[in-house]
Amino acid sequence: MNSPLLSVCLITYNHAKYIRQAIDGVLMQKVNFEWELIIADDCSKDDTREILLEYKEKYPDFIKLILQEKNVGAAKNWMDLITSPQSKYIAYFEGDDYWTDENKLQKQVDFLEKKPQYVGCFHNADIIENGIAVARYHDWDTDRDIEPEQIILRGGGIYPTASLVYRNVIKIKEADLKFYAGDTVLLLLLLDKGSFYYMHDNRCAYRKHIHGAFTSLRDNPVNRVDFLVNNILLYKYHRKHLNKRYSNYINDAILVQVRRIYNIYGFYSKESLIMFKHLSFKDIIRLFVFKIKSKYKKKHSKDI
């Protein structure tokens, strides 16, 4: 087998209920290039590993397995997976999502091969709840460039994880493992290498269920605030390393996390005040300027 042009990187943990559909969505792809499937399992406690070994036996030359001997955590498992490929392109997704278009990879690789200015492209998805498609991930109905401001402000939430194909041109560092939002880290690192493109067709399924990571954030204020504080640290870290032309967007992204925290607990609560220790002096000034402007706009609108 020649060196693959693309590596599919599939991360999984306790996905026995979903993993067959995820792998089958990969196997149905019709491509005209060399490729591989790499799956990293974080020592699942259910039948996930047995299912992976079954597929490995059927496709020994195509499937590569990273089987953690003990639970190393999502961040370490992700890093072991995402740094493994030597291919030109990577398509990353999680074991509870799946692909629905057999030409997905071919279309994205063809686009990136013709458009070297783009570092990655992603597409729309069906949102699946209880096995039923309930909505589209985006209401954007045309193909389009994605502005850096949108990438930074929306972070990983701007794309369905299973939709992204990107150039293998970045270095993941140990320092990146302390941040919960690995998809946001990925986007910020890639942003320094080129632009992003959006394709409006639905080519994958994004599954929402009670065991999903972001469901626990939505339903538990303490977990959500912990996540938002970690996002502040993420953006502060990348503010030092990202291209300076994006600094204002990074500053705005930090304010977004701050405002979400005090929307949960109130601006003068103990939980919100503790957050201030993570902000720089300039961040605090920006926050109070924002509050003053917001109060002025609110008062002015009432006067009118």
Residue 278 lies in a domain: yes
Structure-token pair, residue 217 = 């954030």
Judged by average pLDDT, the poorest of 8-12, 25-29, 132-136, 215-219 is 215-219
End residue of a domain, out of 153, 184, 208: 208
Identify whether residues 239 and 224 lie together within a single domain: yes
Judged by average pLDDT, the poorest of 64-73, 137-146, 261-270 is 261-270
Question: What per-residue string of b and e applies to 117-151 under the rule 16 or more CB within 10 Å gives b?
Answer: ebbbbbbbbbbbeeeeeeebbbeeeeeeebebeeb
What is the arithmetic mean of pLDDT over 12-36?
Answer: 97
Identify whether residues 218 and 203 lie together within a single domain: no
Task: Give the confidence band of 286 by pLDDT, cuts at 50, 70, 90.
Answer: confident
Output the pLDDT for position 209. 62
Identify whether residues 147 and 294 lie together within a single domain: no
Output the pLDDT for position 178. 92
- The count of other CB atoms within 10 Å of the CB of residue 91 is 25
Task: Give the confidence band of 248 by pLDDT, cuts at 50, 70, 90.
Answer: very high
Give, rounded to a whole angstrom, the gap between the first and last alpha carbons of the chain: 71
Yes or no: say if 138 and 200 are a contact pair by the CB < 8 Å rule: yes
Residue 162 lies in a domain: yes
Residue 235 lies in a domain: yes
Output the pLDDT for position 24. 98
CA distance linking residue 8 with residue 92, whole number of Å: 6
Identify whether residues 54 and 130 lie together within a single domain: yes
Task: Give the confidence band of 244 by pLDDT, cuts at 50, 70, 90.
Answer: confident
Structure-token pair, residue 27 = 């196997």
Task: Flag whether pLDDT at 98 surpasses 90.
Answer: yes
Task: Flag whether pLDDT at 71 surpasses 60.
Answer: yes
Output the pLDDT for position 284. 82
Task: Flag whether pLDDT at 292 surpasses 80.
Answer: no
Question: What kind and span of H or E run contains 221?
Answer: helix 221-241
Identify whether residues 124 and 192 lie together within a single domain: yes
Identify whether residues 32 and 82 lie together within a single domain: yes
Identify whether residues 119 and 258 lie together within a single domain: no
Identify whether residues 266 and 146 lie together within a single domain: no
End residue of a domain, out of 188, 208, 228: 208
Judged by average pLDDT, the poorest of 35-44, 108-117, 243-252, 262-271 is 262-271
Q: How many domains does one find in the chain?
A: 2
Identify whether residues 139 and 267 lie together within a single domain: no
Residue 290 lies in a domain: yes
- Output 206 or 259, whichever has higher pLDDT: 206
- Percent of all residues in the chain with a pLDDT value above 90, rounded to a whole number: 72
Residue 204 lies in a domain: yes
What is the arithmetic mean of pLDDT over 13-19?
Answer: 97
Yes or no: say if 196 and 145 are a contact pair by the CB < 8 Å rule: yes
- Output 219 or 61, whichever has higher pLDDT: 61
Identify whether residues 82 and 174 lie together within a single domain: yes
- Output 16 or 271, whichever has higher pLDDT: 16
Identify whether residues 139 and 279 lie together within a single domain: no
- Percent of all residues in the chain with a pLDDT value above 70, rounded to a whole number: 91
- Output 2 or 45, whichever has higher pLDDT: 45
Identify whether residues 193 and 223 lie together within a single domain: no
Output the pLDDT for position 300. 45
Residue 1 lies in a domain: no
What's the chain's average pLDDT? 90
CA distance linking residue 286 with residue 212, whole number of Å: 34
End residue of a domain, out of 161, 177, 208: 208
Cα 205 versus chain centre, distance: 14
Handedness of CA 40, 179, 210, 223 (dihedral sign): positive
Torsion angle (degrees, nearest 10) of CA 283, 288, 293, 299? 160
Q: The domain containing residue 83 runs over which residues?
A: 6-208
CA distance linking residue 299 with residue 220, whole number of Å: 33
Task: Flag whether pLDDT at 303 surpasses 50.
Answer: no
Residue 195 lies in a domain: yes
What's the pTM? 0.89
Residue 20 lies in a domain: yes
Q: Which CATH number is 190's domain given?
A: 3.90.550.10
